[in-house]
Chains A and B, each alone.
Chain A
Amino acid sequence: MQVAGNDTLGHHSQVIIQYFFAGGDMSAKQKQDAGITHEGIFFAQEQLHEMHDQMLFIRRFEEKAGQMYGLKKIGGFCHLCNGQEAVCVGMQHAAEATDYMMTSYRDHGHILARGSDPTAVMAELLGRAGGVVKGKGGSMHMFDADKNFAGGNGIVGEQVPIGLGFGFSSWYKEDGRVTICIMGDGGINQGAVYESFNMAALWKLPIVFMVENNQYAMGTSLDRASAETQLFKRGISFKIPGMKIDGMDVLEFEKKMSEAIEHARSGKGPILVEAMTYRYRGHSMSDPATYRTREEVDEWRTGRDPIARLQAQMIEAGLATEDSFKQKDRDIKKEVAAIAKAAEAQPEPDAAELWTDIYTDPIEGAYPYPGKVG
C-alpha cells in the first residue's frame, strides 16, 4: 500500500497475457484460466467482461440521460459521470455487497455499478412512479437501501459525516462492514470532511474515504481551489494514510481499492483514496465547460479512456475482438434505449405520494396535517 507521500500515479500496468485465442479452440482448462494478470492480481475473463460491460453500460446510460435532458424529459440538475466509469465499476468489484456506500449528486454511475435496476434509475431521472426513490429524488438523490447505497446527497460534502455515522454503526455493531464514503475534489474542501476525518481516525472506524478527483469543482480547477493539490495527503494531520490511484484504469483501481478496503476492514481505521479521473462532460447539463481546453479533454478522452484501455488489454490478451466489442456496444445501446422507453412509459407518481414518506410515525390530530393544506 502506498502511504501519503508516495505518488503511485504514472505507473503503467503490466498486462500479462495468459492464453491466446488460437482460432477459438481453447481447452476447458484454458477457458477457465483465461484472463489478465495485473500487478500480480489475476482477473478472470468473466470478470473482465463484466467490468467492461458495466463501464460501457454506464457510458451509454449517461449518454442517453444527456440526450433525454436535451429533450427536456429530465428536469433540474443532471450531473453525468462519463469518463469516471472505471472508478464506479472498479470500486464495486473491490467491495462486498454488504459494505455501505454513499456519494454526492454525481451518483448515476455508482448506483448502476452497485447493481440497482437501471430502469428504476432512468425512471427516477424522468420523475416516474417506478423510480428508484419513487420519483421523489431525481438525479441527485438516488438511494437503494437493499444495495446498501445511501445516496445521492445534494449538498457538497454532506455525505461525509453521514458516512462517518455508517462507519460508526459498524464499529458499534461489530458487523465487519466497511463504509465507502465518496466525495469529489470540490467536496474535500468542506469543513465537515475534516471533522469526519478526525473522528474516524480517533475511533478507528472502518471507512474508506474516496475522493473522485476529476480536476474540477464545477468550473474551478483543483489548483485554484486547493492549497495542497495532492488530495491523498489531506488526511496526514489525522494520521489517515492516503493512496493515489489511477482512476482511468479499472484493473489498477480494483486492485488498489481492494487493498484500501482491506485496510479499513482489518481494524486499522480509515484510509483516504484519491482516484485520478476526469469527467468528459460539464459539471452539469447546463455547463458548457468553457474553463478547460478542447486539447485537455481530448487528451483524457482519447489517451486515457478507461473503456478503450480495457478493450485494448482484452484484445491483446485474446479475450475479445474489436468486432465483438462493437457488437456488445450495439447490444448495450439497444438495451439502454429499451430501458429509456420502458421508463418513459411509466406513469408519474400518484398525487397522494406528495404526502407520504415524511414521517414514519405521523401524529394524528396535530397540525400541520399530512395530506391537507389548511
Chain B
Amino acid sequence: MSKITYREALNQAMAEEMSRDKNVFLMGEEVAEYNGAYKVSQGLLDKFGPKRVIDTPITELGFAGLGVGAAMTGLRPVIEFMTWNFAMLALDQIVNAAAKMKYMSGGQYSVPMVFRGAGGSAARVGAQHSQSLENWMANVPGLKVVMPSNPADAKGLLKASIRDNDTVVFIENEINYGDVGEVPDEEYIIPLGKADVKRAGSDVTIVAHSRMTGFALTAAKELAKEGIEAEIIDPRTIRPLDENTIITSVAKTNCAVVVEEGWRFAGIGAEISARIMERAFDDLDSPVIRVTGKDVPMPYAANLEALALPSVRDIVEAARTACGRA
C-alpha cells in the first residue's frame, strides 16, 4: 500500500489506462499544458504527448459532443469538465446524445466514454460553482453515475469507468482532491454498481456518498461514544444503485439515515428512502431520515455557507433520532 492523494489516485488511474489502451485520450480545459486546473492530469502531457492529452477552448458543449462522436467510432474519450457546474452547458450531449445513442440506434452505436470532473460544494465560491447535481444525471437511463469518496475508490472506480463500454458520469469532489489515503500498489479495479460498507455497525444504517461519506464516518465516531454503532454504507455508484447492500443493512439495524450534500427535493436521498420503503418497510422501526443540503443557492459568507451544508452534527442528531436515542 502507498499513501497518496485522491488527486494522485485519479492521475494514476488515467495514466495506467492510457498506457494499457491507445484509444484512451484525455480532453478538456487546461488538462495538458497547465497540468489540470486541479492538477489531476499532472504530467500526463509529458507522458502521452499532445495527441492524447488535449487542451480545448472553453467550449463545454462542443468538446462533450466531440467525445460522444469519438466514442461512437470506438475511441475511449475521457472528457474532463473543470467542474460539473460547467457541464450544464453540455447537458444536451450528455443526456440527449450519449445516454440515448445506443437505444436510438437500435444497439448499433455504443458511447464508451467518461465525463469526469469536480462536483459538489467547493469552498467559498458562491452559488454557481458549488452544487451537487448527481441526481440530474442519475435520473437518466443510459448513464452510469460514479462518485468516489476516498483515494483507493477513486483509482479503482476510474479505471473501471474507463474500461466500461457505456457512458460514465464520474463526479469527483473538489474538497477531497487533497485527501490522503492508502492505495494498493498492485493493479486493481473496483467494479461499478457495488456499494462498500465503510464501517460495520448494528444500531443505525447511514448511507452517504462522496464527501458526505467522510462526514458520516466522523459522525459514527461521535455516536460510538454514546454507544450507538452506526453502519456506514457508501454506494460509490449512484446509478445503478447497489440497493441490496443497503437493504441488508437496514434488515439488521431497522433504521436508516441518508445523507447527501445536494438539495432535498427529488434528491438521491429521496430515491434511497423510497427504495428502503419499497423493499424493507417491515424492517423499519422508524421513518428514514434525510440529511441534505438546505434548499437555497449556495451563499458566499462563511457562516451562511456552513449553514447551507449538512454537518457532522446534523448526521449525529439524525442517527440518534432514527434509532430512538435522541
Contact = CB atoms under 8 A, between A and B. Distances in A.
Contact of B70 (A135, A145, A172): A172
The 3 closest A-B pairs by CB, nearest first: A165-B69, A161-B65, A195-B62
Given A199-B57, A358-B141, A161 B64 contact: yes
A166 B102 contact: no
Contacts of B244: 365
A190 to B, nearest CB: 9
A144 interface: yes
A368 interface: yes
B43 interface: no
B61 A191 contact: yes
B71 interface: yes
Interface string B69-84: 1111111010000000
Contacts of B191: 363
A134 B106 contact: yes
26 contacts: A100-B73, A132-B106, A133-B106, A136-B106, A143-B109, A145-B109, A150-B72, A152-B105, A161-B68, A161-B93, A162-B69, A163-B69, A165-B77, A166-B69, A195-B57, A198-B57, A199-B56, A199-B62, A356-B107, A359-B142, A360-B166, A361-B166, A363-B144, A363-B193, A363-B240, A366-B242
Given A166-B72, A169-B70, A198-B59, A160 B106 contact: no
A136 B103 contact: yes
Contact of A155 (B92, B242, B243): B92
B105 A133 contact: yes
A153 B104 CA distance: 9
A196 interface: yes
Contacts of B104: 133, 136-137, 141, 143, 151-152
Contacts of A209: none
Q: What class of interface size applies to chain A in its complex with B?
A: 35 or more
B96 A368 contact: no
A344 interface: no
Interface string A352-374: 00001111110111111100001
Contacts of B243: 366-367
B121 to A, nearest CB: 26
A357 B103 contact: yes
Nearest to B163: A361
A86 B152 CA distance: 58
A127 to B, nearest CB: 12
Q: What class of interface size applies to chain B in its complex with A?
A: 35 or more
Given A143-B104, A158-B97, A150 B70 contact: no
A230 B18 CA distance: 44
Interface in A127-177: 131-137, 141, 143-145, 150-155, 158, 160-170, 172-173
B275 A165 contact: no
Interface in A319-374: 356-361, 363-369, 374
A169 B113 CA distance: 13
A170 B75 CA distance: 10
Nearest to A359: B166
A192 B96 contact: no
Contacts of B51: 172
Nearest to A157: B92
A225 interface: no
A202 interface: yes
Given A162-B72, A162-B97, A195-B59, 4 more contacts: A143-B106, A155-B96, A172-B75, A366-B240
A357 B107 contact: yes
B108 interface: yes
B190 to A, nearest CB: 13
A191 B105 CA distance: 25
Contacts of B314: none
